[in-house]
Amino acid sequence: MSDFVDRVTVHVKGGDGGNGSAGIRREKYKPLAGPNGGNGGDGGSVIFEATRNATSLLDYRFMPHRVAPGGTMGLGDNKDGTKGRDLILPVPCGTVIFEARGPQGRPKHPGEQLADLRHEGDRFVAAAGGAGGLGNIALANRTRRAPGFALLGELGEERDVILELKSIADVALVGFPSAGKSSLIAAMSSAKPKIADYPFTTLVPNLGVVVAGDRRYTIADVPGLIPGASQGKGLGLEFLRHIERTEIIAHVIDCATLEDGRDPMSDYEALEYELAEYAGSLELPLGAIPIPERPRIVILNKADVPEAKELAEFVKPEFEKMGMRTFIISTASHEGLKELNFALAGMVAEMREEVARREQAEEEARVVIKPLERQARRRRVADEGGNALEFSIERKENGLGEFWFEVTGRKPERWVQQTNFDNDEAVGYLADRLAKLGVEDELRRKGAKPGDEVRIGKGDRAVAFDWDPTIAAGAERLDDAPLGARGKDLRLEEDEGRARRRTNAERRREYHEMMDAKAAVREAMMAERKAGHWADPSIDDDRHDEKSLFGRGE
């Protein structure tokens, strides 16, 4: 079983933001001294980072679900929640991240390219964490002095991505199966690939580091190619992408093959045809040299066999006429390896300078649009009338005759996630925000009528409700019970009597009134006692009492 993995599907989810706090500060003689609820902490993000310490995507095959920690809830005394720590996921240099597309429960296929982590330290935020909810101290203002609610934290971003590893090597060894590529990389470097005398021994790309004097470069051993590899035959299609990042293509040709219809020149032409077919569908990264323009070198292998050496010396001039440097080698006797090693080192040095020059030219030619120092307004969606809206409303129908109005937009969808629908004041706050944004006016323009179903958002996170524009935001409950206008706290209203703090004079007056009432009751009870009403049961004190001894209820 091979432990080299170069394509995986990973499910990533950013941490959820913490909820805000709706705490109220309490002091002596001040049971309602004002709001003091802190904000919730932001959730952590899932970030992929390129590093040379990683060589494979094997870890993500066994653990494909990665979730970042969430933020904690805000507390009273104006204490904000802590932010969730970002989840840093290391990947090898040369990893390309794609959007995963496909139905749920089925294998995914690559969609839009999201990032290309080519260099050490390159990062990509695959799933951003959710923002923490605001506490009631952040929601308070002159009219809403003591909010009895706080905003909920937003959910973290969640999606599937495909990681595809395209090995970054200086030289790519291409050739037919059993041409001696693995033997060559083993002879020139410290790599220990599997070597055997049957086709397709190499099932995974092998990388080797080669030293030539004071120069170092890497060689990639690509599994054997056969005619039709660019269309999926053999193993070539799975591993052809590993030559996309190489700077030099080295053809390793078997001069000792006994197969009918094969010779060094026909093998070279067949390999070039497959490379050209594969190169036609590539989107090269910034500064990369197209595969047809990359320098070639021909390596005629197995010169330790007399017939093979004779054939190699015969075809070498033919390749040189085509403008390619040609070397006759033997991985068994190490003949010609030293010359080949220094020749490749020189070509690699030249190509590195060329690639660096192209990358610099591309960077200078690229137009970079940077935001202004002041906060810019986000781009809005233009409606049918030409007005700028920060949301869109569409009338949807299904095959059963049911319809609804779907509201989409960054702000409405965020606001719905932040709302605690168990709190009437929070619902009223949401209604006011939507009305101020223009959602109600746009619903009327789209033909919505009271009682029609309205959905804000898409998918599992959508919220549906019956639209009733006649209800003022926060003015009444769903059961028609009266409720103070949103932004006003009944506990602090002056016209609610004891809801406000009484003065000392009012306290003294109420105290004397209470004591005078108690004294009057005691005098009445003493007069009844002296009259004997409590001792003689024959005296009917209450003619309306049906349970008296006389039973004369009137």
Binding residues for Mg(2+), as ranges, are 182, 202
Element (H, E) at 437: helix 424-437
C-alpha 342/C-alpha 329 separation (Å) is: 14
Q: From the annotation, which residues make up the binding site?
A: 175-182, 200-204, 221-224, 301-304, 330-332
Give start and end residues of each alpha helix (H) in 260-370: 264-279, 306-321, 337-365
Structure tokens at 462: 């959508």
C-alpha 514/C-alpha 506 separation (Å) is: 12
Q: Nearest CA to 314 among 324, 304, 326? A: 326
- Coil/strand/helix, residue 46: strand
Q: Nearest CA to 305 among 327, 324, 329? A: 329
The one-letter code for the residue type at 249 is I
From the CA atom positions of the chain, what is the Rg in Å? 40
Percentage helix, strand, coil, to 5, in the chain?
30, 20, 50
Helices 306-321 and 264-279: angle between axes, nearest 10 degrees? 50
C-alpha 299/C-alpha 294 separation (Å) is: 16
Structure tokens at 218: 């890497």
Backbone angles phi, psi at 506, to 5 degrees: -65, -40
CA angle, residues 44, 48, 52, in degrees to nearest 5: 135
The 10 Å Cβ neighbour count of residue 179 is 26
Element counts in the chain: helices (H) and strands (E): 11, 20
Q: From the annotation, which residues make up the binding site for GTP?
A: 175-182, 200-204, 221-224, 301-304, 330-332
